[in-house]
Structure 1
């Protein structure tokens, strides 16, 4: 369908759901969701649609596990720096009844409406097995290739600590030349996350790192917020 159709449809979602973050309707054997917050994550949480200052989209799923969705987000504060991205995804998700096993696979297409760049695509898959969730994704972006794996091992029964890990490999089509003359074409990044509930508060500890060091970090554009090794402790407590 024409790109303008999906753009108008998504803009309609913005206005229809301004007062409610998610609107859900049953259409026969299909379940339709419209929202201004991200409706679905894929590959056990490894892959999510892009997030901007204004978001909206739809998700249509069938009882047999097939699903389709489209998500639009924008960034920028003026017409000069406005950037609109449209993410379209389709996949299949199945959970075996009476067991702790399930699987999922699909494809998501990222298209930049306001920029003259080629769209990128990401293949993803995930499995769940008795409280453990594993996800993997491979993206083909203009000028680069990214591979990511994710593992959520659940909560340990004795200590009550949740453990999840993520590892990524990033490879550039053309190496970047740094100021010191060195060249960087591929690098890795990783993260380890611990979570613990205590006295009605949620504590999260994260360790992140990359294979880049020093001046090499000027070429970093991976999953982590920081290139060098970083430790982050966060605590949250509900007010009510």
Structure 2
């Protein structure tokens, strides 16, 4: 479950669509691959603070339509066997004057060991390096316990991001997010909502990041594998290839 790949494909789609329509349609297909010492999603490790190898394939059309797929290894407890996450997504993005926008659908597919498939719909607006995105639970294959809402809207995540280009190829990014709802609590093994934040520096495919949450370490035992009260320092390298 990652968000950075969505931002990347959105920017590609916006850039292509901003060129306008021509006599011949324009489409772009790109592949991406990355390695990271820790797979962080919404402030929480998805690999019990271990390394991950990830990759994906993206398609963007000049109309603003885009679609893609992305995979990563995951591990939600120290004694888990190898598991994978396979995401499928599509959406439509564009730009009106200085304001960019993006709406889409994202499906998170896991193997039988993880067994927590779910999907979200999202909408984003951006202006001058700043963006705000809302993710809403659409549906899930997970079991629903009494008193829990796993239907549409049973979980939401709000993300605020701001990117500053220090010089060509070098970018500093700030992030703050809030995750809440019955499904979010069940998926994360937590009993209450939480906030997360991150600061990153990227240059030529390399990204250094520090992230954290407002959890105080007193969460239930199911969440201790995440070491939620610790700062997480992440180093990753990614490459994009135009096909």
Structure 2 length normalisation: TM-score?
Answer: 0.54
Of 22, 27, 30, the residue aligned with 1:30 is 27
- Whole-Å Cα distance in 2 between the matches of residues 55 and 106 of structure 1? 21
Map 1:201-212 onto structure 2 (within 5 A): 206=211, 208-210=213-215
Q: CA deviation at 1:134?
A: 0.6
Larger Rg: 1
- Whole-Å Cα distance in 1 between the matches of residues 223 and 65 of structure 2? 36
* SS, match of residue 36 in structure 1: strand
- Whole-Å Cα distance in 1 between the matches of residues 163 and 61 of structure 2? 28
Of 105, 109, 112, the residue aligned with 1:111 is 109
Contact between 2:67 and 2:91, CA under 8 Å: does it hold in 1?
Answer: yes
Gaps of 5+ in 2: 1-23, 36-40, 144-149, 165-171, 236-243
Indicate the residue corresponding to 2:136 in structure 1: 138
Asked if 1:217 corresponds to 2:220, the answer is yes
Aligned residues: 177
The Cα offsets for residues 151-203 of structure 1, whole Å up to 9 and x where unpaired, read as 12456xxxxx964311111415998xxxxxxxx97411113445689xxxx99
Of 82, 87, 100, the residue aligned with 2:98 is 100
* SS, match of residue 81 in structure 1: coil
Q: CA deviation at 1:150?
A: 1.1
Q: CA RMSD in A?
A: 4.6
Indicate the residue corresponding to 1:171 in structure 2: 182
Contact between 2:185 and 2:192, CA under 8 Å: does it hold in 1?
Answer: no
Q: CA deviation at 1:207?
A: 5.1
Indicate the residue corresponding to 1:57 in structure 2: 56
Indicate the residue corresponding to 1:73 in structure 2: 72
Asked if 1:188 corresponds to 2:193, the answer is yes
- Whole-Å Cα distance in 2 between the matches of residues 58 and 116 of structure 1? 23
Which of 1 and 2 has higher RCO (CA within 8 Å, sep 6+)? 2
Q: CA deviation at 1:115?
A: 4.4
Contact between 2:122 and 2:136, CA under 8 Å: does it hold in 1?
Answer: yes
Contact between 1:163 and 1:195, CA under 8 Å: does it hold in 2?
Answer: yes
Contact between 2:185 and 2:193, CA under 8 Å: does it hold in 1?
Answer: no
Gaps of 5+ in 1: 1-26, 39-44, 156-160, 176-183, 236-240
Distance 1:126 1:233, change over 3 A: same
The Cα offsets for residues 47-66 of structure 1, whole Å up to 9 and x where unpaired, read as xxx89844333111100110
Q: CA deviation at 1:75?
A: 4.9
Runs of 4+ with deviation above 6 angstroms: 202-205, 232-235
Map 1:116-131 onto structure 2 (within 5 A): 117=115, 119-131=117-129
